[in-house]
Chains A and B, each alone.
Chain A
Amino acid sequence: MSEHDIELYARLQAKDKRALEILYDRYEKLLFSFAYRMTGRRDLSEEIVQDVFLKLWTKPGIYDDTKGKFSSWILTVTRYAAIDCLRKKDDNHVELEDRDALKSSGPSVEEVAEWKEKRHEIRTAINQLAEEQKQIVELFYFKGLSQQKIADTFEIPLGTVKGRIRLALKHLHKKIGGIKEGRDHSYDRT
């Protein structure tokens, strides 16, 4: 039985290097893949993962359970590190592209279980979104653009940006829910 994240975090707080290493092994692929999903660059993705673990190791008390699940929290930290990195490296460059083309993924031992479960569902849901909503999610969530930049990119009034983002996210959430339900339903029948 592997140790829970929160126990490892407690050990890490006591400067147990081994605990950091276990957490590293557990999250390396997910964080690297997520950073790569956001930046599209391996070098930056490594910097981002390093930044996250450096924070974890050098900033005591950076996480506590009021901040939610450890996995959600560390992903949020990764996202901010990636956004920061994107801004530093590439200030005005915005690409609208579909990087979602499915590639085959190799075997993996250390994957976070949640990822395995959710990856397919979420990707399917994203692919079901209308093109414009897909791009809104991309620029807002994965590129971390400001409302102003999103307004400029889509040539829409600033005041309408928030509404569109929320609509796209809610739409996506519903679709994910729908796919999950469909899966559970088909399990019921078999």
Chain B
Amino acid sequence: MTEHKTCECLLDYFNDTLTDEEKSQFEHHLATCKDCRDELQELNMLTADLPFSAELTEPNEGMKDRILASVFEESEVPEETETPIVIKESKRRNYRWLQPLLAASLLLSLSANAYFYLNQNGQEISNPPREGTDEIVKQVQLAVSEGYEGTAEAAMIKKEEGMALVVQASNLKPLTGNEAYQVWLIDEAGEKFRAGTFRTNTEGKGAVTYSVNYEGEHNWTTIAVTLEPTPDSQQPKGDIVLASQL
């Protein structure tokens, strides 16, 4: 590129339409060409106010919870497999509490171990669950351990590709530092399996969906939620906060 040609890249540099190579070439050029630097500065100055012309547009419902959950998730997630749950319109009233959670998990397209905030003011997320062939096979209320507070419900959902576990908790004590709530499934042999990690929002609510696909056959006897010092405990280190027979 001749000098003159390079100067002509300024607007495309500003709009980020250059290839990586052109871009780095232009950045080198920028260091030596005062005209381009001045012009770029002028361009920034002339356009600085333009974003403020935007008409106020109300954000999507539930957007804050989705975004914060996914931002925090991205940075701290241990690798585990969790998938969105698809469930058909419920005819049974007693798992209505699942609806917002299921809807949220659909919206999130959970691909990794996801904990997420429920809507702060308890609003339901409006998108209805999609059609599907899934069936809730088991649903339990977890009992709280002495010295702790909180409530939780769990449901096992049979999906075409396996079993999914959904846990939703509220009124839990706030977490500090790296602490996390960890869900465990315990089988007949007393072996404990990680089944989802979650954190609570400012109101002490938290939830997680987890796809249960451990090797071998397991006859689950117990589900428990522990308070762990970090989100990556492979075996429980903290106290059991909530538990139920399955």
Contacts and interface: CB of A to CB of B under 8 A. Distances in A.
B55 A172 contact: no
Given A20-B68, A37-B55, A111-B56, A146 B63 contact: no
B52 A119 contact: yes
Interface string A107-142: 010010011001100110010000000000100111
Interface in A60-102: 72, 75, 78-80, 83-84, 100, 102
Nearest to A107: B56
Contacts of A181: none
Contact of A49 (B43, B45, B67): B67
Contacts, number: 132
A29 B56 CA distance: 7
Interface string B62-91: 011011101110110000000000000000
Report the interface size class on chain A. 35 or more
B16 interface: yes
A115 B52 contact: yes
A185 interface: no
Nearest to A165: B11
Contacts of A29: 56-59
> Which of A33, A126, A144, A161 has its CB near the most chain B CB atoms (within 10 A)?
A33
Across the A-B interface, give the 4 residue pairs with the lowest CB-CB distance, nearest first.
Answer: A105-B56, A37-B54, A118-B52, A146-B17
Contact of A140 (B11, B58, B63): B11
Interface residues of B, number: 34
Contacts of B46: 166, 169-170, 172-173
Contact of B52 (A49, A106, A114, A142): A114
Helix, strand, loop or mixed for chain B's interface?
A: helix
Contacts of B45: 173
A122 B56 contact: no
Contacts of A28: 59, 63-64
> Which of B48, B57, B60, B74 has its CB near the most chain A CB atoms (within 10 A)?
B57
B2 interface: no
A9 interface: no
Nearest to A123: B53
B60 A46 contact: yes
A103 interface: yes
Contacts of B58: 29, 106
Nearest to B39: A166
Nearest to A38: B54
Given A53-B67, A169-B46, A34 B51 contact: yes
A141 B70 CA distance: 29
11 contacts: A29-B59, A30-B54, A32-B60, A36-B54, A37-B57, A45-B57, A57-B72, A118-B49, A119-B54, A146-B15, A147-B8
B52 A32 contact: no
A92 to B, nearest CB: 13
Contacts of B70: 50, 54
Given A49-B63, A162-B8, A141 B72 contact: no
A122 B12 contact: no
Interface string B134-168: 00000000000000000000000000000000000
B55 A33 contact: yes
A78 B51 contact: yes
A176 B49 contact: yes
A11 interface: no
B1 interface: no
B57 A80 contact: no
Interface in A136-167: 137, 140-142, 144-147, 161-162, 165-166
B67 A106 contact: no
A24 B67 contact: yes
B50 interface: yes
A183 interface: no
B234 interface: no
Contacts of A108: 56
B193 to A, nearest CB: 28
